[in-house]
Amino acid sequence: MNANTGIQGPDLSNQDFYINRELSLLQFNLRVLEQAMDEHHPLMERLNFLLIFSSNMDEFFEIRVAGLKNRLETGTGRPGPDGMLAEEVLAEVARVTHDAVQRQYHILQNILLPALAEEGVHFLRREDWTPAQTEWVKKYFRDQIYPVLTPIALDPAHPFPRLVNKSLNFIVSLDGKDAFGRSTGLAIVPAPRSLPRLLRLPEEICEDGNDNFIFLSSMIHAHVSDLFPGMKATGCYQFRVTRNADLEVDEDVEDLASALKGELLSRRYGDEVRLEVADNCPRDLIEYLLEQFELTEQDAYEVNGPVNLARMFTSVNRPRLHYPPFSPKLPAAVKKHESIFEAIDQGDILLHHPFESFSPVVNLLAEAARDPKVLAIKQTLYRTGTNSEILDHLETAARNGKEVTAVVELRARFDEESNIEGARRLQEAGAMVVYGVVGYKTHAKMLLVVRRDGDGIKRYAHVGTGNYHTKTTKIYTDYGLMTAEKGLCQDVHKIFQELTGMGKAARLKQLKHSPFTLHPSLVQWIDFETEQALAGKPARIIAKFNSLTEEQIMRALYRASQAGVRIDLIVRGICCLRPGIPGLSENIRVRSVIGRFLEHTRIYHFHHAGEDLVYCSSADWMDRNLFNRVETAFPVNEPALKAQVLEQGLEYYLRDNGQAWELHGDGIYRRVQRAEHEAPFLAQQALLEALSGGA
């Protein structure tokens, strides 16, 4: 019997009821890989999905596998609710990933490259070069590559070099003796990081109308003997090593920015976790590399093609091979008014990116920066990117005498360097820059403008589910709310006071926030649906987010399912809950939608006795978001906007029968199959047509 609800049922601590976090993330990456086979996507976009899989797997090894290896070596850390030990997870990761990498290169070599060649897009092998192309490569190698190459012989005076994380390298076997009489037989040639990995050949040495690309690795292969005069290269094999890239910074320091900046270099030389090597490399050389990197056979991935596929991203001027362009829509409420403040004064404005433009948010900052009535601007910055319009306007505001406060999260993974630079820019302009709260990443997305209004002041706020990054707003799905509602704006003000000052947790009227009220509110809302169902009343939960790992919430969802609550979870990435288990989770459905845009919205809907609570949030249902970060969840109260979120943000995704995958109790996602009589429905395409006028 469950003590919380009185429901007779299985023990919710049973490890079989939970899916391992790392293996669930790996399943997401497999779904990304399968997009390369989906003919709904144009051909170059299918290639891009194949490359995104490589980029995702790089990070998976740099962070997740590195963490598992560290747990195994140090004996620290405890298993998750699934109970799997680090060595068990690593073995399963290796098994699944070796199969996936083989499939990836099969798709590349046997499906995508031949199909692209039929369209006039060629990635040329050395044996396919014409005499004119061979001569061009020879000159390019001599003029552009040779001067920056540094071959490293391996002998007692030249031990195996320390190679940069994910850098392209070659191990070369040699015959003969050099000018000093040395004949060690082996050398390492690091590829210059300053040179592109893929080059477009000039049109004059190619067939008319074709796009021809050539790999840097092929050019080095072709001329590697030139690096060792008087000797013969008997073999040349590309490889790269992936290292632990998770930064560990002691936050008990006087200057977090300086400490973090000092750690960034170490990311390039962390402990080795994976070796990728050409599949034609002799076994003895692979074993030699594994020995040098202190890796095992399980860590070696032999590939039939370039070892650095993520560097193959390119574009060709062939519209039919790419997604059709679209223009994000500007909401009517914004178009009616010259001033963004006037538009917000007329009522809340909900923005659904990338289908609707992010420009109103940028324009809010731009107008605030030059408006003499604006007194202060406060903003959280998690990821902004370089050359950011957001930073430009904040700088302008500070130089114009506004009180500008920026809460910059320096520890946003892989954006640390750009965030440090952004913080420096703002400080030099006169802005107040703070780094949040020690021990808690500031992940909330908030912007507050304080403006004179007659004899008093008025606040305007933007809260969102995504970052203030103008590039990602074009490819990530996110919601943002622009409002002048007093209670919500006051809540945003109070959270900024928490972040920059000290004191007890703020008592908020509208917002829920981590690490204080968000988690208990979620559990309370789920439990309320459980109570309603047990009383024979309507109960319903629909939620959309990136990941679900938090154990208390999963248990609450299991209890709700046992009580009869119908639950739909739309989870892009990690889901540790097992749906469809009789007597436990048969009322829970979990689906994942993978398409043109990266699904990033977080939406929580609870029937709540007919009130229909609808919140959008910066937080996933993960331990880190709910306990170790500053996050916000904001209500969508205006009836028309609430109906829009319910329909377009949730129901569209539950109807998707073209790009949706469903999670089964065995932990495997299977593609949703459309019934013969059923019309195709793709959520993202429907949103493009509804909000931006199509694509």
Task: Give the whole-angstrom CA distance, residue 520 versus residue 552.
Answer: 10
| Angstrom distances, CA of residue 607 to CA of 459, 475, 617, 686 | 31, 31, 18, 25
Task: Give the whole-angstrom CA distance, residue 599 versus residue 570.
Answer: 10
With 0-12 / 13-18 / 19 or more C-beta atoms within 10 angstroms meaning exposed / middle / buried, residue 665 is middle
400: amino acid identity, one letter = N
Of 388, 528, 347, 362, give the one whose Cα is nearest residue 447: 362
Of 560, 557, 559, 554, give the one whose Cα is nearest residue 574: 554
Determine if residue 572 is labeled as part of a ligand binding site: yes
Q: Whose structure tokens read 């002041």? A: 457
Determine if residue 243 is labeled as part of a ligand binding site: no
Looking at 255-348, which runs of residues are DSSP E strands? 272-278, 300-303
Task: Give the whole-angstrom CA distance, residue 549 versus residue 601.
Answer: 17
Determine if residue 311 is labeled as part of a ligand binding site: no
Is residue 462 annotated as a catalytic residue, yes or no? no
Determine if residue 383 is labeled as part of a ligand binding site: yes
453: amino acid identity, one letter = D
Task: Give the whole-angstrom CA distance, residue 667 versus residue 78.
Answer: 21
Give me the torsion for CA of 26, 31, 36, 37, rounded to 10°. Answer: 130
Strands 613-617 and 629-635: antiparallel
User: How many C-beta atoms lie closer than 10 Å to residue 262's C-beta?
Assistant: 11
689: amino acid identity, one letter = E
Of 32, 211, 23, 224, give the one whose Cα is nearest residue 123: 211
Task: Give the whole-angstrom CA distance, residue 92 versus residue 68.
Answer: 12
Determine if residue 267 is labeled as part of a ligand binding site: no
CA angle 20, 26, 27 (to 5 degrees): 90
Spot the catalytic one: 41, 223, 353, 443: 443
Determine if residue 628 is labeled as part of a ligand binding site: no
Q: Angle at which helices 43-59 and 21-34 pack, to 10 degrees?
A: 160
Residues recognised as catalytic: 443
Which residues are annotated binding-site positions for ATP?
56, 476, 572, 600
Which residues are annotated binding-site positions?
56, 383, 413, 476, 572, 600
Which residues are annotated binding-site positions for Mg(2+)?
383, 413
